[in-house]
A and B are shown apart, each in its own frame.
Chain A
């Protein structure tokens, strides 16, 4: 059963990921991304991380990709693009190098830690699983104690991004007259 769920979810993730790269239409690509995110959420549930799965769906599928779609629709770039045109010529060879590099690193990591693949861990502490809310309690405890600094710094980073966007997109006083003509 566990294997079955894993295979289905992994297929969802892979099909979605391939779709994001290969679909010509940006809206279809964004929908493929949703499929991938759902697959990951299923994998989280299969590993008893219910809270992470819910957050994955609420934040990524429910907010971020919706905003992607929003921007795609508002900017009107929702037509299929001609992929043979490339504004940045260095982009594709560079992408190839990076992807080969990442693949190599992952393969090396797997080969290096081959023993760990077959080792059986003690798994999740099943005693805490009896309590339905233990998952959330443990997560929040580690976020707000051990990793509180990283957590707060991340939120400050997001805040800076928001303020920066507002500052950069705001028209200066009197400038809108020239721009709108």
Chain B
């Protein structure tokens, strides 16, 4: 298809126009939806937290204060653009974009709607073209999301370093250590989903979760979901893992020296990432745009077409997780840094690895025709032996450290 571009530079041929326009339309729509969702998320968070703390929250701009974010954005836009004298100017200017662009890129692979019922496979027909309601469906699918989330570290890390000041640097070193640590647990819980789905493509993962019993949260046995949820919260640097911006210790964290539009970009990226991560959780574990159905019984929204209904389901499911994230923020106190690292390395990574091995062993047993319970019990026993070895090693190292007089 792309070769026609060279032969037909004026785009007069009928072959190219529609697909190209559909792709352009999708890009614009995904960008706009992302921005509007982020704007509403900021408002939603402030309003819900205010409710949880017996306050009113934003209520001046627009109905229910819904335009508050827009007002804040305009204010930030007109503020003076400051660059610290001791900063590395090029990297200082580059860093906000390195944080902002990955936040949008992940949104591209999330199925935003479409009809996955029966044999439809999520395909919709627009202007005579079969397509999916997602910007891109690359064969590596979910690995793309992992790659982008590992790139997102650069924005925060370079912002802290290039500010030429010690508190942002401390904040960014913390943030990058945290994100690198939790990425392993994140990847291993995604691996569990990939193992049961048998595909990396996000639309393929959604297509296999046709009814409530097939949702990956149940098929993978709920543990990978919890690990993913915790690791994602740490990856987003949201409370209770928001050590990056621990105000009491670090002034404002990695973005202390930023002002005006550049600060707005960081702020936008943070909330955009929250929305994207919630959508990713829904896609991986809760069937994405699939309706809730038990057996042959499907909860169907009347009148609205099946393809658009998918978008409504996705929205409802994502809203639940956005609410949970806000709830976390309002409820949980911040972790201490060593507790954070202990949780990541000593609990989440071994747990996700062990669970992955258990699922893989069941898979092998299924293929070889072994008894399911025997396989499960044998694997659990082996994992218990491994865990006790790990616990022994941890206790030994703790004793050694106590003897050496290290605090933690």
Contacts and interface: CB of A to CB of B under 8 A. Distances in A.
A27 B140 contact: no
A5 to B, nearest CB: 10
Interface in B349-408: 400, 403-405
Contacts of B169: 73
A132 interface: yes
Interface residues of B, number: 37
A70 B177 contact: yes
Q: SS class of chain B's interface: helix, strand, loop or mixed?
A: helix
Q: SS class of chain A's interface: helix, strand, loop or mixed?
A: helix
Contact of B173 (A34, A73, A132): A73
Given A27-B91, A73-B161, A1 B404 contact: no
A101 interface: no
Nearest to B144: A54
Interface stretch (B148-156, B222-230, B282-290): B148-156
- Most chain B CB neighbours (cut-off 10 Å) among A50, A58, A174: A58
Interface stretch (A59-67, A85-93, A118-126, A149-157): A59-67
B332 interface: no
Nearest to A129: B139
Contact of B180 (A25, A61, A67, A78): A67
Contacts of A17: none
B164 to A, nearest CB: 10
B78 interface: no
A41 to B, nearest CB: 9
Contacts of A173: 400, 403-404
A61 B173 contact: no
Contacts of B150: 57-58, 61-63, 66
Given A1-B5, A173-B403, A173-B404, A62 B143 contact: no
B209 interface: no
A174 B405 CA distance: 9
A34 to B, nearest CB: 7
Given A62-B153, A62-B183, A173-B403, A57 B147 contact: yes
A74 B157 CA distance: 12
A176 interface: yes
A69 interface: yes
Interface string A105-126: 0000000000000000000000
A161 B31 CA distance: 45
A57 B169 CA distance: 24
Contacts of B157: 66, 69-70, 73
Contacts of A40: none
Interface string A156-181: 00000000000000010110100000
B2 interface: yes
A62 B147 contact: yes
A58 B91 contact: no
B3 interface: yes
Contacts of B10: none
Classify chain A's interface size.
20 to 34
B88 interface: yes
A15 interface: no
A135 B200 CA distance: 11
Interface in B122-181: 138-140, 143-144, 146-147, 150-151, 153-154, 157-158, 161, 169, 172-173, 176-177, 180
Contacts of B404: 171, 173-174, 176
A69 B153 CA distance: 11
B316 to A, nearest CB: 29
B36 to A, nearest CB: 29
B361 to A, nearest CB: 16
Contacts of A133: 139, 198-201
A176 B405 CA distance: 9
A27 B164 CA distance: 13
A31 interface: yes
B6 interface: yes
Contact of B147 (A27, A31, A54, A132): A54
Given A61-B150, A66-B176, A70-B173, A78 B140 contact: no
A51 interface: yes
A60 to B, nearest CB: 10
Interface of B: 2-3, 5-6, 88, 91, 138-140, 143-144, 146-147, 150-151, 153-154, 157-158, 161, 169, 172-173, 176-177, 180, 183, 187, 198-201, 204, 400, 403-405
12 contacts: A1-B2, A50-B139, A50-B140, A54-B146, A66-B150, A66-B176, A67-B180, A69-B157, A70-B157, A132-B200, A136-B200, A173-B403
Given A58-B147, A61-B147, 7 more contacts: A1-B3, A51-B140, A54-B143, A54-B144, A66-B153, A66-B180, A176-B404
Q: Which 3 interchain pairs have the tightest Cβ spacing?
A: A62-B150, A132-B139, A54-B143
Interface of A: 1, 25, 27-28, 31, 34, 50-51, 53-55, 57-58, 61-63, 66-67, 69-70, 73-74, 78, 132-133, 135-136, 171, 173-174, 176
